[in-house]
Structure 1
Amino acid sequence: MRKNYLIILSLFVVIMAKAQENEGDIEEVKIHARAKVNKEREEFKRHAQSTETLSEYELNRNNPNLIEQSLSSIAGVQVEKRTIFGGQRIVVRGYGNDQKFNNWGIKMYWNNIPLTNADGITILDDVNFGFINNIEVIKGPAATLYGGGSGGAVRLYSRPSTKKGTSISEEFMTGSFGLFQTSTSITDVGDGHSITANYGHIGTDGYRPHGKSIKNFLNINGEVKLNQKQKLTLLASHGNSLEQVSGQISFEDYYNGIDNGNQAYIRRGAKTKFVTTRVGLGHIWDINKNLSNSTTVFYTGTTSDRIAAGAYETYSAPNYGLRSVFNYSKDWGNFKSQTEFGIELQQSRSLITNYRFKSVSIDEEPILRPLYDGSYFKNLNNQSNYFAVEKLTYKPWELMFLAGLSINEISYTRNDMLALPGLFIIGGVDRYNKNLSFDKKFKAVATPHFALQKTWQNQIFNLSYSAGYNAPTSATSFITGLNQTNNDLIPEKAKMWDLSVQGLLANTAIDYQFSLFSINVKDKLTQLRGVIPNAELTPYSYWANTGDQENKGLEMSAGYVYTPKSSFLSKIRPFVSYTYNDFKYSNFKTYLASAPTADYSGNNVVGLPKTKISLGLDFDTRIGLYWQNTYSYMGSVYSDFANGTRVNSFGLLNSKIGYRYSFYKFDMDLFVMGNNLTSQINYTFLFYGNSINDSDNDNQYNGNTFTDVNPGPNKAYFFTGFHVKYNF
């Protein structure tokens, strides 16, 4: 496959060179900035803090379901994942790497539907990223508009088509790891409606042992105009996702390019399976020339089965609520007032069972412990967010002042379904002599946001202060080992100063962003380990507020669209993003197993590199050929609080070559893409902080070998495919 790729690349260069010799004078084309810039400027003005977006162009530079490839190109954002198409963990400005799995502290949405449930947890396995055509990332605390989340907000969009008519499209992709991927869409757009129905399928053997992925998605997205002032919106999806889990390996195997998976996971058939139905029905109403409202009621129902090295878990949860936002705008002579206020309410009701595996030798079949050694909980979680933001602009100076405030509340109720009297009386002995039920409500938290924004020609200058918070989840609010509520636990709070500039240089198509920020996270939530006295020092885990974290950083990004006046090339598009992190713990103390209390103040925050860089260079030709190149560099990171284990840096080179052509009523795009073309050793997921030194008694390693890393493909891999659209 690599040979074919190089042949295609050589032919591409030869055709380009030959065509340039014969190309005559070309009519001057007006210079435009990158496709994402207009939306990016709009959201930057609205949120008054550093915001970046990805348009459909950026999302399709690679396989769109490899969402880490596109999201990680944004300065200040990194994405890890446990499986080939699942288990994503998104980190924004140093926040989000605390959970061992899934996402916590970053609020996420799909259109106006929260992907983050009422417990504050986000799982992305059930999202069809191939159906997403726009992403925006609000960096740093954004609780004023989006509730709990110290790290910011990530908003995914499936925007309705605006091109009138009916069309049907098919996208197909195949390649390395036995990939078979399709996406079929039907779209109809008229004067008063736009609706798209989509079916997507992904099947692959994966690049790791026991690494198969099978996903099927049904999606409907659209809007219907009721009258001149009102319209309805709909997003409905059904996803069935299965990801086999290979488990983590040792660093020695990782650096030597050896990946046999983790037998403790593979022998148990480890997997994550999610079946999710999600519906959001929205109403947009221009009440009068000054006042408008957007309201969405939503429902998400998820069932899952998860098997890991130590447990088999089943989960069922409906999550529902509404988000309603009013916008009021009024001109007062030289002043303009813009007010945004609203509410977001969520409730989830879940049933979750957890069965524990016995530790057995490598030649024995895995078996489960008795039911009374596991758990069965019924949870009721509630989360509410009330917010108001006022923007006052002095129009002659194009100077805007923003002041916002939100009130956020969260509560949990958990019933232990195994604590029913007499349920486990065996031989006259109660085998389940505990009750893990509890109620907890955190006090309302107020989070302010202030900003001063100045627009000058094509430049936007913004100085902002924003606050966020991250409440403990229902799972972290109870100490199972001690059978008691963790009453000392309080939400962590974040305060951020952000100086950002965004704009276009002079009259060119060079766009840029520049941000300096400082985030102070107080009362950091960290998982610790303790031992129970007088019980043979039985180990248990719990969460505590361990101290503070200081995240200071610099982010820069720039892009350029160059249109040659007389050339075979129609466009040349370079871009760069650069991240510098100086993230440190302060007054940070923790406890590892039986070790004494340790003070890690002044150490680097785990899992975050000092430097992260993305470079891109794209070429478009006038005959439809294109060539897109991306290089991403991830600096070295520390995995432990003591900064004793340093994980090496790596750089990945990806490239895509394609040919676009329209004829009759067809639009065609044929392409081939290669990832990790220089065959670099790299990882996709690490265990950090107090999660390190993972070891299962019945894996293939000896008891002194720790398994903390999930490797990525260490050889070049390739995909090829096409996208064809027929316009009726």
Structure 2
Amino acid sequence: MTRPARRTRGARPHTLAPLAAALLGALASLPAMAQETAPTQVLAPTVITGSRVEASSFDLPYSVDSVSLGADSAAGLRVNVSEVMNAVPGVVVQNRQNYAQDLQISVRGFGARAAFGVRGVKLIADGIPATNPDGQGQAATFNLDTAERIEVLRGPMATIYGNHAGGVIQLFSREGQGAPRVSAGVFGGDHGTVKVDIGAEGEKNGIGYVLDASHFETDGERRYSAAERNQAYAKLTFRPDEDSKLNLIFSSLRQPETEDPLGLTWATWKRDETAVENVALQYRTRKEIDHVQGGATYERRFGSDRLQVQAYAGERSVTQYQSIPRAAQTPITHAGGVIDFDREFYGVGARYIADREIGPGRLTLTAGIDYDRSEDDRQGYQNFIGTVLGVKGALRRDEIDTVTSTDPYVQAVWRQGDFDWTLGVRHSEVKFDVDDKFIVGANRDDSGSVSYHQTSPAVGVLWRLTPVLNLYASYGRGFETPTLNELSYSASGGFNFDLKPARSRQAEVGIKAYVGEHTRLNAAVFQIRTEDEIVVASSVGGRTSYTNAGTTLRRGLELAAETNFTHNLSARGALTVMRAVYDETTATVEDGKRIPGIPAVTAYGELAWKPLAGLTTAVEAIHRSKVYVDDANADHAAPAYTLVNLRLAAEQKSGPWTFSELLRLDNLFDREHIASVIVGDRNGRYYEPGPGRSLYGGVRVSYQF
């Protein structure tokens, strides 16, 4: 959706216009392309996600992509994974522009209903889950400053990662190698955005290390959306002998007093896309997060076999002030408008990978088990004292919530001739236990427990039709339990222990091909049928309860292409077309209605030019079709939009010094758009606007000893 002029940003677009013109002029005035050389060959990246052993993505019978980050500055500010995931088909990462609620990430539609955080998609960082046993994850815990790559697994083979694995997003951090070096970066831009980070990495006396600390702050384009984020990361790598490796990992995240502007109604957005609803200001909606964790991963080789073990533990504290009206909290049974919990979590996992030549083929067999546990000491308070709003009032909830998951699994890959066969099976047992300590008057004892069980098989086959053309097919079954938040309330009051998990069956057929030496093409068609889809049942008094709908059907096509026209000019693109509908009429939804939160078409294109060594320019285009916001498809859908971004990155080396610079101009044409939606918000505040034209830039300096 476009408009001739933005009605509420005043003179700001005009002040940025000279900067945009200057950037375009700089690109236009660059020296002519360097001497023509043969284009570099496009190769499929090596990935681990899916097979759990290193393999070329070209030779795997499922959809998996790797996004390379490295240590340079071209990736952007490195605050949100939305900066780097646009080129992966089937994945939609929507930046809410609200750091109190995190990103909204969906993979082939899984996760689109998340009102906050990430669910339906398994998040893993350095082998350690960033998703709780109930399926609730936080992408904000990913440290992009130290990331080497992010791998994204989609389709049936994702189901062997267990609960809420509609897709898998796995981050891998760098390991300290080479001569010691230190670095520092300063970035800034529109909306009061500033990021400062400092780091060190290298290897000394056989010990590798990666250290990083960063501070990020922004005022946000919308009013009342300021945020501050402080992150720290440390990774030590030990090699006791030539056959073993031990990584010790520490990370922390702190977000103090993060303002929550909530969503907007359609009328408010049409009037002023930078606005905030009065209720957010009245109750001073906000969130504070403290997250710290440590972990260890150990690998030992026994010839061609290997043993891998990981363990982790941490604490997370959250205090959130909501906008629930004071009158709604009058009954003693209401849990209040302030969420306050302290979480302790830990987990262990182990797997043995055996690799053998057997007769005419080769067998790789993986057997393992994962155990994860989280315990919340959770309180709820009224968000007022007398007539004063937005403060912690009387206690209205006090309980211990414990979630555990135990998952043994086996996976086998058989390679013989032109065929590779992959078979995996995982048995998951997820248990929720509630110990209610707030039993006052009419507020009954809501203690109880519920367990969910699922055996998830997946099978895939790859056929090497020619050396440059692979065909594959895969099928799998998975499940998605309710999250703790979705279980917390029922229409009759208390926990909704009758809520069932959603169970899915996925099928995929695809092609992976090289066209010439310099172009790589991936294409896949998929179908996902889900039973007992979890949907919003009601939203009354600021509390949302959930129920199971009938079946849903998602059918789609994914395309991804990458090519090097010359040594200096390259392009890549991704396209996803998906029809996601309810496939059965129930009491809550009607057959044929579109599933909210899922765009029918997403597309990305990028053209990058390297006119000189150490200088890269690129133009990016992002398209999203309209998105429905409710199950009935009755309210205004978020309109389709197309955004164009420009970036310029440079790097210079002088002896031990390396200097790099980045300049980004996002939303070049200042398009007004809805960046994400809050599915099923019965207050009508579905819409979370995206920023207009925004300029960011920064420099990084590193010194190698």
The alignment's TM-score, normalised by the length of structure 1, stands at 0.87
What does 1:284-433 correspond to in 2, within 5 Å?
A: 284-286=299-301, 288-310=302-324, 311-357=337-383, 365-366=388-389, 371=394, 374-394=396-416, 397-419=417-439, 430=441, 432-433=442-443
Distance 1:479 1:266 in 2: 26
What is the aligned-residue RMSD (CA, Å)?
2.5
Q: How much does 1:410 deviate? A: 0.6
Q: Does 1:221 align with 2:252?
A: no
Aligned to 2:139, the other structure's residue is in SS state: coil
Per-residue Cα deviation, 1:68-100 (whole angstroms, up to 9, x for no partner)? 132233211112243354511210001112232
Aligned ranges for residues 275-290 of structure 1 at < 5 Å? 275-286=290-301, 288-290=302-304
Partner of 1:608: 598
Q: Is residue 2:689 matched to residue 1:711?
A: yes
Contact 1:177–1:205 under 8 Å retained in 2? yes
Q: Deviations over 1:310-333 (max 9, x none)?
A: 221111101101121211100124
Q: Distance in 2 between matches of 1:482 and 1:38?
A: 48
Supply the AA of the counterpart residue of 1:371.
A
CA shift in 2, pair 1:727/1:379, >3 Å = same
Secondary structure, aligned partner of 1:48: coil
* Paired residues, number: 669
Which residue is equivalent to 1:476?
486
Give the fraction of aligned pairs with identical amino acids, expressed as a percent.
16
Taking the aligned partners of 1:291 and 1:256, their CA distance within structure 2 comes to: 63
User: Which residue of 2 is the match for residue 703 of structure 1?
Assistant: none
Contact 1:466 1:496 in 2 (8 A): yes
Determine whether 1:438 maps to 2:453.
Answer: no
Conserved 8 A contact 2:113-2:596: no
Aligned residue for 2:63?
Answer: 50
2:503 to 493, 496, 504: 493
Distance in 2, Cα, partners of 1:258 & 1:411? 43
User: After the TM superposition, which residues 505-544 of structure 1 pair with which residues of structure 2 at under 5 Å, given as runs?
Assistant: 505-506=515-516, 508-529=517-538, 541-544=544-547
Is the CA contact 1:61–1:628 (under 8 Å) kept in the aligned structure 2? Answer: no
C-alpha distance in structure 2 between counterparts of 1:609 and 1:226, whole Å: 50
User: In structure 1, what is the Cα distance between the partners aligned to 2:355 and 2:373?
Assistant: 32
Partner amino acid, structure 1, of 2:114: Q
Q: Is the 8 A contact 1:125 1:241 kept in 2?
A: no
Report the alpha carbon displacement of residue 692 of structure 1 after superposing the two structures with TM.
3.0
Q: Give distance in 1, aligned partners of 2:534 and 2:30.
A: 58
What is the CA–CA distance in structure 2 between the aligned matches of 1:192 and 1:2, rounded to whole Å? 52
Shift of 1:461: 2.1
Q: 1:175 aligns with which of 183, 186, 189?
A: 189
Cα gap change, 1:355 to 1:141, in 2 (>3 Å): farther
Contact 2:59 2:462 survives alignment (8 Å): no
- In structure 2, relative to structure 1, the CA distance for the partners of 1:316 and 1:60 (3 Å cut) is farther
Select between 57-66 and 140-149 the one with higher mean Cα deviation. Answer: 57-66
Match of 1:595 in 2: none
In 1, the alpha carbon distance for the partners of 2:202 and 2:338 equals: 44
**Shift of residue 202, structure 1, vs aligned partner:** 0.5
Q: CA deviation at 1:131?
A: 2.9
* Cα deviations by residue, 1:591-642 (Å, 9 ceiling, x for unpaired): 4xxxxxxx41111111212211101011112343221221100011221222
- Farther off after superposition, 182-191 or 345-354: 182-191
Distance 1:369 1:215 in 2: 23
Per-residue deviation, 1:116: 0.6
Letter in 1 for 2:670: S
Q: Structure 1 residues 114 and 501, CA, compared in 2 at 3 Å: closer, same or farther?
A: same
| Distance of 2:248 and 2:681 partners within structure 1 | 43
Shift of 1:479: 4.5
Instruction: Report the equivalent of 2:469.
Output: 459
Superposition pairs of residues 230-269 of structure 1, within 5 angstroms:
230-242=244-256, 243-269=258-284
- The range that moved more, 447-456 or 258-267, is 258-267
1:208 to 222, 242, 245: 222
Q: 1:11 corresponds to which letter in structure 2?
A: A
* Counterparts of 1:249 and 1:505, CA distance in 2: 47
Contact 2:156 2:475 in 1 (8 A): no
Residue pair 2:89, 2:558 contacting (<8 A) in 1 also: yes
Secondary structure at the counterpart of residue 26 of structure 2: helix
User: Residues 307 and 127 of structure 1: is their aligned pair in 2 closer, same or farther, counting only changes over 3 Å?
Assistant: farther
CA separation of 1:263 and 1:341: change in aligned 2, threshold 3 A? same
Equivalent residue, structure 2, for 1:722: 699
Contact kept in structure 2, 1:34 and 1:561, CA below 8 Å: no
Distance in 2, Cα, partners of 1:172 & 1:631: 26
Give the 3-state SS of the residue equivalent to 2:191 in structure 1.
Answer: helix
Asked whether the equivalents of residues 103 and 139 of structure 2 are also in contact (C-alpha less than 8 Å), the reply is yes
Structure 2: which 5+ residue stretches go unaligned? 1-15, 325-336
Q: 1:365 to 1:382 in 2, by over 3 A?
A: same
Determine if contact 1:215/1:239 at 8 Å carries over to the other structure. Answer: yes
Is 1:96 paired with 2:122? no
Give a deviation string over 1:535-564, Cα, whole Å, max 9, x none.
xxx997532221111110000010112335
1:133 aligns with 2:130: no
Please, which moves more after superposition, 483-492 or 272-281?
A: 483-492
1:693 is aligned to 682
Would you say the 8 A contact 2:622–2:643 is kept in 1? yes
How many Å separate the matches in 2 of 1:357 and 1:53?
A: 44
Q: Deviations over 1:206-257 (max 9, x none)?
A: 1111111111111012321110111101221121123311111121232344
Tell whether 2:171 aligns with 1:156. Answer: yes
Per-residue Cα deviation, 1:320-359 (whole angstroms, up to 9, x for no partner): 0112121110012421011011011001111111223369
Using the TM superposition, name which of 221-230 and 249-258 deviates more. 249-258
Match of 2:578 among 578, 581, 591: 581
Residue 415 of structure 1 aligns to which amino acid in structure 2? Answer: D
CA–CA separation in structure 2 for the residues paired with 1:481 and 1:574: 52
User: C-alpha separation between the residues in 2 aligned to 1:350 and 1:244?
Assistant: 23
Question: Does the Cα contact within 8 Å between 1:337 and 1:391 map onto a contact in 2?
Answer: yes
Match of 1:638 in 2: 628
Residues 45, 57 of structure 2: 8 Å contact kept? no
Alpha-carbon shift at residue 577 of structure 1 (Å) = 0.5
Which residue in the other structure is 1:596 paired with?
Answer: none
CA distance in 2, matches of 1:588, 1:194: 58
CA distance in 2, matches of 1:450, 1:344: 21
Task: Tell me: higher relative CO, structure 1 or 2? Use CA pairs within 8 A at least 6 residues apart.
Answer: 2
Q: What letter corresponds to residue 661 of structure 1 in structure 2?
A: Q
Rate the CA distance shift 1:398–1:639 in 2: closer, same or farther, 3 A.
Answer: same
* Higher mean C-alpha displacement, 167-176 vs 153-162: 153-162
SS in 2 for 1:604: coil
What is the Cα deviation at residue 682 of structure 1? 1.4
Matched with 1:10 is 25
- Structure-1 residue corresponding to 2:608: 618
Larger radius of gyration: 1
Counterpart residue number, 2:202: 188
Distance 1:541 1:615, change over 3 A: closer
Contact 2:367 2:410 in 1 (8 A): yes
Structure 1, unaligned runs of 5 or more: 425-429, 532-537, 565-570, 592-598, 695-705
